A and B are shown apart, each in its own frame.
Chain A
Amino acid sequence: MSLAEGTAPGRMDRGAAGGDDAEMARFDEIMAADGRIEPTDWMPDAYRRALVRQISQHAHSEIIGMQPEGNWIGRAPSLKRKAILMAKVQDEAGHGLYLYSAAQTLGTDRDTMFEQLITGKARYSSIFNYFTPTWADMGSIGWLVDGAAICNQVPLCRASYGPYGRAMVRICKEESFHQRQGFEILLALMRGTDAQREMAQESVNRWYGPALMMFGPPDADSPNSQQSMAWNIKRFSNDELRQRFVDMLVPQAEVLGITLPDPAIAWNEERQSYDLGDLDWTEFHEVLAGRGQANAERIERRREAHEGGEWVREAARAYARKQAEAADAAEAQVA
């Protein structure tokens, strides 16, 4: 828990108790006025639980999200591309950290969240359970996956929970280069040989649908959305965000010269928006249920990294302990 976020020691569980009517009324008032809740404020249990779930899922996505791109750093086609990819992956690690910090202010410690991730109890975005067989996939991830993430995240800068909103502001600032570098990877391929253009198109064909599913199921099948929107921890519905994303993508795809793999896409003059076809939600639920291409591999890699790093953490702890003991001894001698 972050003290400078305004939390007094030992007060973590205050909000866990039922809270009286006055506290509930005050909370409702803040929600109605689109105000902010800070860690020391009273909040309903359900709000706290929903936040921990949402923020930690988001943090896990950033952390697992390093893998599909991390595995291309060594194979990226130039030193510049390697450096860019490394900077991006490093950003994602930072995003995970900002979000874990925000979740911790709600009283859930980081080890618990790590544990939930590597034991498969916690979810992360299904998009990271797809393989990245070609270099063009680095372009598609930046353009489509980071693009969808940005679309999702910008409204969350105004989330009702203070530490979450502040983390999102920082993240959004950093994300903007992610999407652009992906777009430019695809653009470079589209300006290349026939084989390169084909590679870019084939990659977008694979990522387009899954990226659109990042916004979650259609509104009619998203039972928790209503509550999250009332709490201002979700600002727009899944379908609204998806529509907004597609409206941005279509002109960008034209610049690239890439065809979005949905023949139903057509401008709707009346709605001033693009119509789009149905997505394959069976696939979405399959991946969500753990039967995607890479679910097992991603968790296994995460577990290896976490457990393999234990000796480093232990060594750092031992070093800090010894330094502190030496400082204490020196002080005792002076006294």
Chain B
Amino acid sequence: MASPGESGGREQWPLWEVFIRSARGLSHVHAGSLHAPDAVMAVRNARDVYTRRNEGVSVWVVPAAAITASDPDARGAFFESPQGKDYRHATYYSEADAVRHL
């Protein structure tokens, strides 16, 4: 399996993205990435690299090649929809500022 960013003739270990849940009740958050030959080794290495100080209670690893990202070139258009729609935020409604518990 080839991962982006890996080149050259020699077969390399694929790249995995690592997500850590720091405590029960919180989401898994991206912590970094590492190379490993398979998923089992990736989880073990992720434990050793990213949780040496009790940073996590759960680890996910995802093959980097399996992630689909939005097109960075089309960033403007892709994220255009919320522009100018301040009324989606509570702060837009300033008339209510002085009223308590609102």
Contact = CB atoms under 8 A, between A and B. Distances in A.
Interface of A: 1-12, 40-41, 87, 90-91, 94, 97-98, 101, 104-105, 107, 109-112, 167, 170, 174, 313, 316-317, 319-320, 323-324
B5 A94 contact: no
B15 interface: yes
A317 B37 contact: yes
Contacts of B23: none
B60 to A, nearest CB: 11
B4 A101 contact: no
A323 to B, nearest CB: 6
Interface string B1-38: 00111111011110101000000000000101111011
Given A4-B64, A320-B37, A98 B32 contact: yes
Interface residues of B, number: 32
B11 A12 contact: no
B4 A9 contact: yes
Contacts of A7: 4-5, 69, 72
Nearest to B72: A40
B52 A109 contact: no
A104 B49 CA distance: 17
A41 B17 CA distance: 20
Given A1-B5, A1-B15, A9-B4, A94 B52 contact: yes
B17 A316 contact: no
B95 interface: no
A98 B45 CA distance: 13
Given A2-B15, A320-B37, A323-B38, A109 B5 contact: yes
Contacts of A6: 69, 72
B37 A319 contact: yes
B33 A2 contact: yes
Contacts of A319: 37-38
B33 A4 contact: yes
Contacts of B10: 111
B38 A111 contact: no
B76 to A, nearest CB: 11
B65 interface: yes
A2 B15 CA distance: 8
B67 interface: yes
A2 B17 contact: yes
Given A2-B15, A40-B72, A41-B72, A104 B30 contact: no
Most chain B CB atoms below 10 A, which of A10, A104, A112, A323 = A104
Nearest to B75: A40
B52 A3 contact: no
B73 to A, nearest CB: 8
B72 A11 contact: yes
A90 B48 CA distance: 9
B71 interface: yes
Interface string B42-56: 000000110011000
B57 interface: no
A12 B5 contact: yes
B41 interface: yes
5 contacts: A4-B17, A7-B4, A7-B5, A8-B71, A317-B11
A94 B69 CA distance: 27
A104 B4 CA distance: 10
Interface in B57-82: 62, 64-65, 67, 69-72
Contacts of B32: 2, 98, 101, 167, 170
A109 B4 contact: no
A62 to B, nearest CB: 13
Contacts of B7: 109
Given A109-B8, A111-B8, A3 B13 contact: no
Nearest to A173: B53
Nearest to B15: A2
A10 B33 contact: no
A91 B49 CA distance: 8
